[in-house]
Amino acid sequence: MEIDYLFDLLKQSDISLLGYTFKQERLKDEIISKLPHVVIPEIDSSFSFKSFLRNLKLESILAGESVINPEYIVLDLNDIRYKSSTVLVDRQYQIKRTIEKIREDMYSSSEIPHYKLLLTTLYKSRMDSAPIYMSDLSLVIQENSIKVIKNRFGNDGDDILISFDKLKQYNYICNYEHNN
């Protein structure tokens, strides 16, 4: 499959999960750079997603810019800090709770969210099950392609691999560019 297919899948999905290893971190960053996005900074126990969104709007107003809601909110699950990072159950619970809070905000005002959530995670051999379960689309960056692990909107499994061949030339068309 061509790289266009990846971005078409991301456009369909409200919550997507992208797994990567240290070797593929550059590719992950390049994929994200093609999207109109805002990155959620490191999260600790005092983090409030609603405050984060409010601060984004205030910063743009104070800078004299027009407020544009980003099409994608990017959260690296590795940036979620835990009270007890040595206990795996605590870590998984904190990740699940953080995603649930963001998902609540996504659907609080309507059935169609005003942004999409792209979760990224560094993984060794497998990813945590809660983010996969909550996502519409789960992908893993491999050596030469992206493997579709889960796709609520169509095919998934071993038979779908997306090539990186044309990633550098790809231009993402924002939803708000279609509306003009």
The DSSP code sequence of the chain is --HHHHHHHHHH-SEEEEEE-GGGHHHHHHHHHTS-EEE---B-TT--HHHHHHHHHHHHHHTT------SEEEEEGGGB--TTTT-HHHHHHHHHHHHHHHHHHHTTS-SS-SSEEEEEEE-SS---HHHHHH-SEEEEE-SSEEEEEEETTS--STT-EEE-TTTTT--PPPHHHHT-
pLDDT for 130 equals 84
pLDDT for 179 equals 44
Query: In terms of C-beta density within 10 A (0-12 exposed, 13-18 middle, 19 or more buried), how is residue 123 classed?
Result: middle
pTM: 0.88
Check whether domain 3-178 has CATH 3.40.50, yes or no = yes
Question: Mean pLDDT per segment of 10 residues, for the chain of length 180 residues?
Answer: 93 95 93 93 81 85 75 92 66 85 84 89 78 92 90 75 89 61
Residue-range domain boundaries for the chain: 3-178
pLDDT for 9 equals 94
pLDDT for 146 equals 93
- Cα 84 versus chain centre, distance: 25
Residue type, 74: V
pLDDT for 14 equals 95
pLDDT for 180 equals 42
Strand duo 116-122 + 37-39: pairing: unpaired
Residue type, 57: K
* Angle at the Cα of 79 from the Cα atoms of 38 and 65, rounded to 5 degrees: 20
